[in-house]
Amino acid sequence: MSELTTQTPQPTAAELVDWLRGRVAAQTGRPAAEIDADVPLNDYGLDSVYVFGLCAEIEDQYGIEVEPTVMWDNTSLAPLADALLGLIAAR
Amino acid sequence: MTSPSPAHTAPRPGAEPSGTAGTGAHPSGAHPSGTLPAGRAAADHLEELFGDAGDPANPVGRDAVLAADDRGEMLAAGEDLLTGFGLNAHFVPRGLGGRFEQLDDLVRVMRAVYRRDPCLGLGYGAGSFMAAVNVWTAGSDEQRHRLARRLLSGGRAACAYHELDHGNDFTRAGLTALPGPDGRLRLNGRKEVVANLRRAETVVLFARTDPAHGSRSHSQLLFDTAALPATAVRHLDRFPTAGMRGVPLGGIEFTDCPVPDDSVVGRPGHGVETALRSFQLTRVALPGMTIGLLDTALRTAVRGARGRTLYGGRAADLPLSRSILAETFADLLLADTFTTVAARAAHTAPARAAVYASAVKSFVPTVLIRAVQRLSELLGSQFYLRAAEQPLFQKLLRDVQPSAFGHASRVSCQSALLPQLPLTARRGWRDDTADPLPAETFRPGAPLPPLRFSGLTVSAGGRDPLARSLVLATASAADGDPLSAAGRAWCAELAALTADATGLPPALIGPDAPPYAFGLTARWTGVLAASACLNTWWNRPGEATGSSADPAVTLAVLHRLGAHLDHHREPLPPRLAEPLGAELDRRFDAGLTFDLDRRPTGA
């Protein structure tokens, strides 16, 4: 697990979605290709508690602070990536 | 609203901005000499109104409390007294016309009620406060003023979250509030085991307002029960319970029940967020109030043990009795210190309160329940009798049980801590430049910044200034400080916990986490409680005297903390037990409370 100090450069939307897809795949045990960026994470069995864990991973990877509520408002990966891009650009 | 005493109705300078609990700060940073802070004055006044609990003629005395409990009723004279006192005003922010400014002051006042009768505490007061924090945190101006008027006129609010099928997991709440054919929301479903549901004029109801999964599918609704059509509402019988027998714990069933259009509190769908933010205040306050129950249990046990002759002497003088009494006293101080610091941290670091509230609620009720149970050993072979001190003690032992699971259980609070643990270990605990909590957090009685409901957040963001206070204060403790060795030991525990929690993978932080992971949250809670105790000692007033100037008290409290965390099973060593036992005797004889406040009580 990476440290907060490792700050990745500004990703593109596609790169961010791919990275998120990898995290969800690792958590759910599914192949990343099966994770649809427009399907709510809840449909993959990820509940509101997992959101805290994913938040922490995003924060570590991109050096930003993410309120879990960002993920409540954006329940699938595509809109979530859009919301995060703004936060990453502003860091 | 009556004005029982000039001591706590005196106007204060400065209007508060809306959205805060108001400011109680004195510009000088000190209270005028000779006057008590508002919360203590109010608690003292309430004590005077309650009078001597041991007087058989006192309509709110021990006998009357027990008789009401036997009947399974609220003590009517007690409710009248609290209405005359204006208790509800203490739940309403000053900016809305009430007296609520500091969370620790509210706890002080309510603790005075819990010392007399926990049923009055929950059934008259705490239920309304639980409902109200949702509205203070997320309600519109109109809703906030409406609820403030209701409470200030002596009315009640019921906090209707609980459904038996879902326990403390309110994100699964099944009662729905969905639009009917005319567009108005209609309620369908049940709420169960909710205080005052039948008699409260106003209800805060937690309902599913969107069938979708996720955390944006519930909302709180605020409405007056008189606004509902009677045919769509069915009240359920009171649920029989082991303790809190007098509290009307009711249920309600709605069938296509329309609610007024302006009922939704805050943004529709944001109910889970509102609950997680606002209940941080009640997760701290409820255990803090319940310390009053232990205060009375301890006093009752001393009275019983002094009045009983065993083996040719007073039971209270037997070494085992002295040990149990001293340890229970230390448990009470441990609970009070941790709770008080958490309550004050809600003012000084609201964005971190999510962690401190869950830590208090996961730990303190367990300490209180164990302590009351241990005191029951002291009453020993007569405990089963219904005579002398026994009936009151038996009631307290029953009434303390719901504090373990009511509002939020130990496990649900640990489940809330667990997802925040790895990030805190990686970020907060490793940051050598992080800020500690402001010193006033650890100085009970010192003025605090206003409580900002808007500053409460779902997650603490990996920051832990209370743990940081432990590290910094230990590092700067003077050579020869009697607590510095304890500080270093707890810093070592924090370092070990940092190592153990840093790599905790996401799979281990969900509800299906293994016992090992839950154990890490207990260790985190231990570090936080230790920091609260040590920093309260290190920030004690220069003019401190008596027990607050005796390091043996803090050492004893930390010894008990270690016992509760299974670090050891040792009894308090005599060098710590004896000063505590002596202080316990002094306070009992002088009629003083056993908590940090050490105020006169007739309980």
Measured in angstroms, the CA of A64 and the nearest CA of chain B are apart by 10
Q: How many CB atoms lie within 10 A of CB B449?
A: 17
Q: What is the pLDDT confidence band of residue B409, given thresholds at 50, 70 and 90?
A: confident
User: What pLDDT, on the 0 to 100 scale, is given for residue B505?
Assistant: 81
Whether B91 contacts B127, CB under 8 Å:
no
Whether B213 contacts B254, CB under 8 Å:
no
- In chain B, which residues touch A (CB < 8 A)? 171, 212-216, 272-273, 415, 418-420, 422-423, 426-427, 457-459, 461-462, 502-503, 505-507, 509-511
pLDDT digits (tens, 9 = 90+) for B474-503: 999 988 899 999 999 999 999 999 999 998
Q: How far is CA B333 from the centre of its chain?
A: 14
Looking at chain B, the domain(s) classified CATH 2.40.110.10 span 159-267
Average pLDDT, chain B: 90
Nearest to A42 among B213, B427, B457 (CB): B213
Task: Provide the percentage of residues in chain B whose pLDDT is more than 70.
Answer: 92
User: What pLDDT, on the 0 to 100 scale, is given for residue B274?
Assistant: 97
Q: What is the total residue count of chain A?
A: 91
Measured in angstroms, the CA of A14 and the nearest CA of chain B are apart by 24
pLDDT digits (tens, 9 = 90+) for B261-300: 999 999 999 999 999 999 999 999 999 999 999 999 999 9
C-alpha B32/C-alpha A71 separation (Å) is 49
User: What pLDDT, on the 0 to 100 scale, is given for residue B22?
Assistant: 44
Provide the Cα torsion B584, B530, B519, A42; round to 10°: 120
Nearest to B506 among A54, A69, A75 (CB): A54
Q: What is the pLDDT confidence band of residue B99, given thresholds at 50, 70 and 90?
A: very high
Residue to test with chain A: of B137, B267, B427, B512, most A Cβ within 10 A = B427
CATH 1.25.40.10 fits B274-590, yes or no: no
Nearest to B214 among A3, A49, A75 (CB): A75
Query: For B62-71, B170-179, B364-373, which range has the lowest pLDDT when averaged over its residues?
Result: B170-179
What ipTM goes with this model? 0.83
Residue of chain A minimizing CA distance to B215: A72
Q: What is the pLDDT confidence band of residue B384, given thresholds at 50, 70 and 90?
A: low
Exposure on the CB side of residue A8, measured as CA atoms within 13 A = 17
- Ranges in chain A, pLDDT < 70: 1-7, 48-49
B430: pLDDT strictly greater than 90: yes
How many CB pairs (< 8 A) connect A and B?
Answer: 75
b/e sequence B577-594, b meaning 16+ C-beta within 10 Å? bebbbebbeebbeeebbb
Residue of chain B minimizing CA distance to A67: B459
Provide the Cα torsion B279, B280, B286, B287; round to 10°: 150
User: What pLDDT, on the 0 to 100 scale, is given for residue B288?
Assistant: 98
Q: What average pLDDT does range B305-314 have in this prediction?
A: 77
User: What pLDDT, on the 0 to 100 scale, is given for residue B212?
Assistant: 86
pLDDT digits (tens, 9 = 90+) for B547-591: 778 899 999 999 999 999 999 999 999 999 999 999 999 999 999
**Domain A24-89 carries which CATH code?**
1.10.1200.10
CATH topology of domain B36-156: Butyryl-Coa Dehydrogenase, subunit A; domain 1 (1.10.540)
Structure tokens at B129: 């406060």
Query: What residue ranges in B102-215 does DSSP mark as E strands?
Result: 157-160, 176-179, 185-195, 202-208
Residue to test with chain A: of B421, B458, B504, B512, most A Cβ within 10 A = B458
Residue with tokens 């009556």: B2
Q: Does the beta-carbon distance from A59 to B427 stay under 8 Å?
A: yes
Residues sharing a CB contact under 8 Å with residue B563, sequence separation 6 or more, in sequence order? B327, B569, B570
Highest mean pLDDT among B163-172, B189-198, B405-414: B189-198
Right CATH for B159-267 from 3.40.50.1360, 3.30.420.40, 2.40.110.10, 3.40.50.300: 2.40.110.10
pLDDT digits (tens, 9 = 90+) for B337-374: 999 999 999 999 999 999 999 999 999 999 999 999 99
Q: What average pLDDT does range B35-40 have in this prediction?
A: 77
Q: Is B345 exposed, middle or buried (0-12, 13-18, 19+ CB in 10 A)?
A: buried
User: What pLDDT, on the 0 to 100 scale, is given for residue A67?
Assistant: 87
Nearest to B213 among A3, A40, A51 (CB): A40
